[in-house]
Amino acid sequence: MEAGKRKKIVISVVILLVIAVIGGGVWFLSLASTEVKAAEVSSTQTPLKMSAYYIVLPEPFIFNVSGKERDRVVQIKVQLMVRGEQNEALANKHVPLVESVLLQTFAAATVEQLRQPQGREQLRQQALTTVQATMNKMTNMPVVERVLFTGFVMQ
């Protein structure tokens, strides 16, 4: 009987050790996962903590757009929103390139598209995508966070 009790005690101790190791592993993994999530949140929030700067493009864009009934002239005033002084300097450095890319993007629009609010929003989003892609090629960073239409006239 002494051997039977000893065997039960050894098995119980081994089971307790296995449970402790599993519990410790789960605790360690959950702690590591929490730290990774905290790091992801802080890295995604860092740009939002930086100051916003607005780059006013010097001249409004004036261009013709084609329509089914007749062509129209459109004037759009644009500002670029960037975060941080470094992005502001990069955006200011590349203003002529940004203006060129925006003019190409705007020239592809149609009267029917620009008559609708969602069409103008689509054009604004397309302008942002194009500017970010261009800046990415030049600086390896998107630089511009938003393209803002601060004036829009269609005649």
Same domain, 38 and 57: no
Same domain, 105 and 130: yes
Same domain, 108 and 37: no
Q: What is the pLDDT of residues 135-153, one digit of tens each?
A: 999 999 999 999 999 999 9
Q: Are 66 and 111 in contact (CB under 8 A)?
A: yes
More confident residue, 145 or 14: 145
Same domain, 58 and 72: yes
Domain that holds residue 145: 52-154
Structure tokens that stand for 29 in this block:
């993994």
**Distance between CA 39 and CA 114 in Å, rounded?**
42
pLDDT band for position 89 (50/70/90)? very high
pLDDT band for position 43 (50/70/90)? very low
Same domain, 56 and 30: no
Reported pTM: 0.66
Domain count of the fold of the chain: 2
pLDDT band for position 35 (50/70/90)? low
**Distance between CA 155 and CA 146 in Å, rounded?**
26
Same domain, 89 and 139: yes
The pLDDT of residue 41 is 46
- Rounded to the nearest 10 degrees, how much is the dihedral formed by the CA atoms of 20, 23, 27, 29? 110
**Of 49, 65, 82, which one is at a domain's C-terminal end?**
49
- pLDDT mean across residues, the chain: 85
The pLDDT of residue 49 is 74
More confident residue, 41 or 22: 22
**Distance between CA 111 and CA 63 in Å, rounded?**
12
Same domain, 38 and 107: no
